[in-house]
Structure 1
Amino acid sequence: MQVVIKCLKGGSTSADVDENTPITEIKKKVEKSLKIPVSQQTLIVSGSPLQDDKKIGDYPKIKEGTKIYIVIKKPENLQTSLGKLLRKYYSEEQCKIIADEFMRNFQTKVDNLSLDDLERIAISNLNEL
């Protein structure tokens, strides 16, 4: 069956799916078509978010022609991601100290990069695409 995937900020695509299609597979199709990273997508049908570990068949409301909406989550910044990781191993106070020190060191290193360094980094990352 075919479903329509619509972005609330504009843009849409369609996908051929069946009851065994994983939600993560739909997200990958959206990433290719609409250039929205999988990690920033929340797919919604009838006001309910679709869970990545489920399949289309787990959602009886999804039928031929169903519209699935995408909500785009704002990406986390480096300090927030680091804080989440550190909280698994350290107290809140320790996390703050470690994250602040890491960000200071990181910013210092970025500030000391030359234009040649930045060009090498850019070329290296472009070649990976």
Structure 2
Amino acid sequence: MRVIIVTWGREFFLEIGPQEPVLEIKQKIEHLLGVPVHSQTLAVLGWELIDGLDMDDYPIVKEGTRIDLTIQSNLKPSNLYGGKIQMTVKFSSRRINLEVDRTETVRSLKEKIHILGGVPIKRMSLYFSGRELEDEFCSITEYGIRESSEVVVFLNTLNRQKDKPPTRRLSLVVETSSSLLNAARIPLELKDSCSVSDLKELLLSMKILPPDDYILIHKQRIMRDTCSLQWHGVEDGESLYVFRGTVNRIA
């Protein structure tokens, strides 16, 4: 779910998981703004979010909730929001170097690329580490983009079919929780174009998992059934984690 972090009169979106620990959310903010975890206090409607608890412990936090961030340090707003990173934008035949803000959104990045490279925004698709930057309102750091990262620009063809990166085969390990098969480790090989739903069907057909409801986790984020492994940014050799439960997404 997406929440809004508010601090010093500024706000930005942050994607968090329903079961994500408060401490991991602070770590995301540290990565995004450079504010040390120990200098952060998060609160909703005056209730402080405690490091040792998960978001499940705070039912008042839902899609679109505004979370107040208090910085307990000598940092000034200009120190946080003036941070720049250097990145490379790769086209089919050339590269350009670009300096952007840490809080740059995917949309504003596309606008800069349009100005510098002349690429029509409506035909532009951006990829980082094999994953498309689909949500234009997300900050680029939410997609893992940092100093010296390379973003690849692909053009949608006139018939609106996307010129996507080639499919790769991935070697993965699916790890189950202690409540499922006593914490089993299941090695698999499959294409990165495979959807999460396809992966679940494969695990069911192999009779590895029971036909009960369960979710898959990649890098502390709940995976969407309709999206591919490539979309989730899954890389060769990584692990996916299985837990019992269901997710009700808010439209």
- Normalized against structure 1, the TM-score is what? 0.53
Structure 2 residue ranges without an equivalent (≥5): 1-84, 161-251
SS at match of 1:14: strand
CA deviations 1:83-119 (Å, max 9, x no partner) are xxxxxxxxxxxxxxxxxxxxxxxxxxxxxxxxxxxxx
SS at match of 1:53: coil
Matched, 1:66 2:149: yes
Q: Tell me how large the CA RMSD over aligned residues is.
A: 1.6
Q: Residue 4 of structure 1 aligns with which residue?
A: 88
Structure 1 residue ranges without an equivalent (≥5): 78-129
Q: Residue 14 of structure 1 aligns with which residue?
A: 97
CA deviations 1:25-71 (Å, max 9, x no partner) are 111111111111011111100000012121112122x1111110011
Q: Residue 169 of structure 2 aligns with which residue?
A: none
Matched, 1:38 2:121: yes
Rounded to whole Å, the distance in 1 between the matches of 2:139 and 2:108 is 9
Amino acid at match of 2:130: G
Rounded to whole Å, the distance in 2 between the matches of 1:14 and 1:63 is 13
Structure having the higher helix fraction is 1
Rounded to whole Å, the distance in 2 between the matches of 1:75 and 1:32 is 21
Structure having the higher strand fraction is 2
Matches within 5 A, 1:1-129: 1-7=85-91, 9-51=92-134, 52-60=136-144, 62-76=145-159
Amino acid at match of 2:96: T
Segment drifting more, 33-42 vs 10-19? 10-19
Show structure 1 runs of 4+ deviating over 6 A: none
SS at match of 2:101: coil
Amino acid at match of 1:39: K
Rounded to whole Å, the distance in 2 between the matches of 1:20 and 1:33 is 20
Amino acid at match of 1:32: I
Amino acid at match of 2:88: V
SS at match of 1:28: helix
Amino acid at match of 1:3: M
Amino acid at match of 2:142: D
